[in-house]
A and B are shown apart, each in its own frame.
Chain A
Amino acid sequence: MADLETFKEEVRAVIAEHLPPELRVGNRSDLPKEPLGKWINVMADRGWITPEWPTEYGGGGLDRKHAAALKAELKKVKAPVVSSFGVSMLGPTLLEYGTEEQKKEFLPKISNHTMRWCQGFSEPGSGSDLASLQCRAEKDGDEYVITGQKIWTTSADRADWIFCLVRTDFDAPKHEGISFILFPMHQDEVEVAPLTLIDGSAHFSQVFFNGARAKAEHVVGPLNGGWTVAKRLLQHERSTDGSSDGGIGGAAKESISDFVKRTVGMENGQLADATIRERLAAHEIDKRGLSLTMRRAAEEARAGQKGRDIGSLGKFRWANMVKNEQDIAVDSSGSQGLGWEGPGFDDKQLERTRKWLITRADSIWGGTNEIQMNVIAKRVLGIPE
């Protein structure tokens, strides 16, 4: 591996040559498609979409330091972050539990961003109690026949394949009859119905399986051992959530304090509304508490200092924090915070209102706040059930 400085220069050279200015604006949904596609290919050719995966599976073969340097260089120029369910969740799970054949078949296509994945976990009757899922997979020769329904499937309308939890043993206790299986979405027996949420967005779908087919060799991990695999995968999901700084908007967007300065105005150098002012300060102190605690969790782990797992607080406190930020934004706007679209409301207010709506979900998905607190009480604080 090249030494770190040489590698950084290499990254900078690639950026200079291949990353056009219109893509140097951070992550946005409206990036121009063609330049984005080209840039993704440039990244994929070097294995940089999955920098730490082995090169034989299409990864970059980089160690942690080099991968971090790559990420830092890309962040400096606000390059779009190329991520997907395949990259952040399925890939790491296959690396841990997949057979050699599965790794060879799927990882390169995830690394080069040509196979898009969706996640089939939740069902209408199985939200927080995920293990009660009912979607069935019945053996038929060297295939499984899948019948049932999934919900909250992100980007199901655009996915090529699904990683799915299905029940393969109907008599076993609920956690012990579940398998983790992969199959293609493009079959007549798979039906996708988009779901519109309270903020008007439609990134999720319901998915119906009416006898869809999966190859038996595409079960990941042991048959009926899918619960363990899924739990591991959800850890990847939670670590993605909790490590986010929760900064709605990011650097380019207006901070909550600037937003509130506009909505309630300033008087004698202070926000004109004393209650909003105190709520904002409380929010910013809470946000500090969260980010410093996540940093402390990492530093204590690195220093080998043992204690309770404070990282476990990340998900539910992050959810509370982002919800509270939007509460303050909308409350500070009064009736101007009620806009849905069109004239009468400025864009930033409209955006805050939609965020206020969609952030309600942060304390629900990825394990509700109540589930998070149950887990903390049991595993972290050791209170017997």
Chain B
Amino acid sequence: MAVILSEEQLMLRESAQTFLADQSPVTRMRELRDAFDDKGYTPEIWKQMADLGWLGILLSEDHGGSGMGVADLGVVLWEAGKALAPEPLLSTLLLGANAVRLSSNEAVQKDVLPAVAEGERVVALALEETGRFNPYNVETKVEGGAISGTKLHVLDAHVADQIVVVARASGAAGDRDGLALYLVDANADGVKITRNRRMDGRNAATVEFDGVEVGAERLLGDADLLDQVIDQATVGLASEMLGTAEEAFERTLQYLKDREQFGQKIGTFQALRHRAAMMFAELEFARSIVRDALSAVDEGREDASLCVSAAKAQASKAGRLIGAEAIQMFGGIGMTDEEEIGLFFKRLKAAELTLGDETYHQRRFAALQGY
């Protein structure tokens, strides 16, 4: 169990930093947002990420990957979070394609995974049907070989080649039993994708399935698979949030050192100094808990789900505090669209509410602790 980065991870981080600093300034994300670009990310950069080996980190060598762990991918996501990179890393690597990877459907794996590693396929996961995260609250039905229902907040669905759909084969909304995960082509008959425009500029869509035909050969698994996918994606997202929160914190800290009012740097005011110390503490706690959870997931530790919930709860808490304090400390300029700090604030909020917020994960943590 590791709470610090290994030598290999330090190297991976450095190469990610170099690449993103060079190719992905925050202005890139802003330009894509302002243009409401069709894709919302940069395909050339996605391809370069494939060349760097990032897209195959979790995949076995047979599938064109390097067989590394979620903790290693976490390092990349952390850096991507700092740069606010809009590429479909989370949606493909930890949601859609990860459901394929963690399934036992070898034929689908052979078709999908090498293409993912090459950067030639984006795969989304269609799960949620309500605003507040509640993974078993699924009404979308699979009946007589056809899927019908509506999925919300499907990350990167508008650019997905394929979509993993969580459907219900039996039971009622809220039941864990009776769920089935199928792989569907995004251009299949009966699939309708409507892109959302969200405040954070992150790419998501509403996906309607109207009698979309699927065969048993496209079945990936049940709720056990779903739980595993969600745990890995949640800790990956927590890692990405660390990056976003860390960058927002560093920028705010610099602002405290630079900005003058009443003839002195605002960082000299004790009210702000103490709050900076508190932001630092919450961020470092998040970092420790996330690192621990990443290794818990990779090691298959018995308490892995508990660690993941602790990680997302703390990352959400830290992200919320740092986002709010960043805007407050930047003051009026922080309210303008021009100042980049606002982009971090919005991204942190979006990540906080994705895959369960602090309260959701506190409750899950409590349930897993037996109270």
Q: Interface residues, chain A, CB within 8 Å of chain B?
A: 257, 260-261, 266, 269-271, 277-278, 280-282, 284-286, 288-290, 292-293, 295-296, 299-300, 303, 305, 308, 310, 313, 316-317, 370, 372-374, 376-378, 380-385
- Contact status A292-B288, CB under 8 Å: yes
Residue in chain B with minimal CB distance to A286: B285
- Contact status A383-B256, CB under 8 Å: yes
Question: Please, could you name 21 A-B residue pairs with CB atoms under 8 Å apart, sorted by A?
Answer: A257-B370, A257-B371, A271-B366, A278-B359, A281-B365, A282-B362, A285-B362, A286-B314, A288-B289, A288-B292, A289-B285, A289-B310, A289-B314, A295-B3, A296-B4, A296-B287, A296-B291, A310-B284, A372-B277, A380-B277, A381-B280
CB-defined interface of B1-29 with A at 8 Å, one 1/0 digit per residue? 00111000010000000000000000000
> B261 on the interface (CB 8 Å rule)?
no
Taking CB atoms, residues of chain A closer than 8 Å to B313 are: 281-282, 285
Residue among B3, B270, B313, B314 with the highest chain A CB neighbour number at 10 A: B3
- Contact status A385-B289, CB under 8 Å: no
- Contact status A284-B363, CB under 8 Å: no
| Known A257-B371, A266-B371; contact A374-B270, beta-carbon cutoff 8 A | yes
Taking CB atoms, residues of chain A closer than 8 Å to B363 are: 277-278, 281
Residue among A257, A281, A310 with the highest chain B CB neighbour number at 10 A: A281
Bound Cα distance from A290 to B3, whole angstroms = 12
| Known A285-B313, A289-B289, A383-B273; contact A313-B284, beta-carbon cutoff 8 A | yes
> B276 on the interface (CB 8 Å rule)?
yes
- Contact status B288-A384, CB under 8 Å: no
| Known A261-B371, A277-B366; contact A377-B277, beta-carbon cutoff 8 A | yes
Bound Cα distance from A300 to B10, whole angstroms = 12
- Contact status A277-B371, CB under 8 Å: yes
If A293-B284, A313-B284, A377-B267 are given as contacts, then 10 extra A-B residue pairs at C-beta distance below 8 Å, sorted by A number, are A260-B371, A270-B366, A271-B371, A278-B359, A286-B285, A289-B285, A293-B285, A295-B3, A316-B277, A384-B268
- Contact status A281-B284, CB under 8 Å: no
Q: Shortest distance in angstroms between A184's beta carbon and chain B's nearest beta carbon?
A: 41
- Contact status B371-A270, CB under 8 Å: yes
Bound Cα distance from A372 to B281, whole angstroms = 12
* CB-CB contacts below 8 Å: B57-98 with A: none
CB-defined interface of B274-301 with A at 8 Å, one 1/0 digit per residue? 1011101100111111011000000000
Bound Cα distance from A381 to B286, whole angstroms = 17
Residue in chain A with minimal CB distance to B286: A289
> B32 on the interface (CB 8 Å rule)?
no
Taking CB atoms, residues of chain B closer than 8 Å to A300 are: 4
Taking CB atoms, residues of chain B closer than 8 Å to A288 are: 289, 292, 310
- Contact status B280-A380, CB under 8 Å: yes
Contact of A293 among B5, B274, B288 (CB under 8 A): B288
- Contact status B281-A317, CB under 8 Å: yes
Residue among B5, B265, B284 with the highest chain A CB neighbour number at 10 A: B284
Bound Cα distance from A370 to B273, whole angstroms = 10
> B35 on the interface (CB 8 Å rule)?
no
From DSSP, what is the main secondary structure of chain A's interface residues? helix
Q: Shortest distance in angstroms between A308's beta carbon and chain B's nearest beta carbon?
A: 8
Q: Shortest distance in angstroms between B266's beta carbon and chain A's nearest beta carbon?
A: 10
Bound Cα distance from A260 to B253, whole angstroms = 39
> B107 on the interface (CB 8 Å rule)?
no
Taking CB atoms, residues of chain A closer than 8 Å to B285 are: 286, 289-290, 292-293, 313, 317
Taking CB atoms, residues of chain B closer than 8 Å to A308 are: 280, 284
| Known A303-B4, A383-B276; contact A296-B288, beta-carbon cutoff 8 A | yes
Across the A-B interface, the 3 shortest Cβ-Cβ residue pairs: A289-B285, A377-B273, A292-B288
Taking CB atoms, residues of chain B closer than 8 Å to A266 are: 371
Q: Shortest distance in angstroms between B267's beta carbon and chain A's nearest beta carbon?
A: 4
Residue in chain A with minimal CB distance to B367: A270
> B197 on the interface (CB 8 Å rule)?
no
| Known A380-B280, A384-B265; contact A289-B288, beta-carbon cutoff 8 A | yes
Bound Cα distance from A296 to B292, whole angstroms = 10
* CB-CB contacts below 8 Å: B306-364 with A: 310, 313-314, 359, 362-363
Q: Shortest distance in angstroms between B259's beta carbon and chain A's nearest beta carbon?
A: 12
| Known A284-B365, A377-B273; contact A384-B281, beta-carbon cutoff 8 A | no
Taking CB atoms, residues of chain A closer than 8 Å to B365 are: 281, 284-285
Bound Cα distance from A372 to B270, whole angstroms = 12
Q: Shortest distance in angstroms between B234's beta carbon and chain A's nearest beta carbon?
A: 14
> B110 on the interface (CB 8 Å rule)?
no
Taking CB atoms, residues of chain A closer than 8 Å to B289 are: 285, 288-289, 292
> B257 on the interface (CB 8 Å rule)?
yes
Q: Shortest distance in angstroms between A254's beta carbon and chain B's nearest beta carbon?
A: 14
Taking CB atoms, residues of chain B closer than 8 Å to A260 are: 371
- Contact status A374-B273, CB under 8 Å: yes
Q: Shortest distance in angstroms between B185's beta carbon and chain A's nearest beta carbon?
A: 41
- Contact status B253-A383, CB under 8 Å: yes
Taking CB atoms, residues of chain A closer than 8 Å to B270 are: 374
Taking CB atoms, residues of chain A closer than 8 Å to B287 are: 293, 296
Taking CB atoms, residues of chain A closer than 8 Å to B257 are: 382-384
- Contact status A373-B314, CB under 8 Å: no
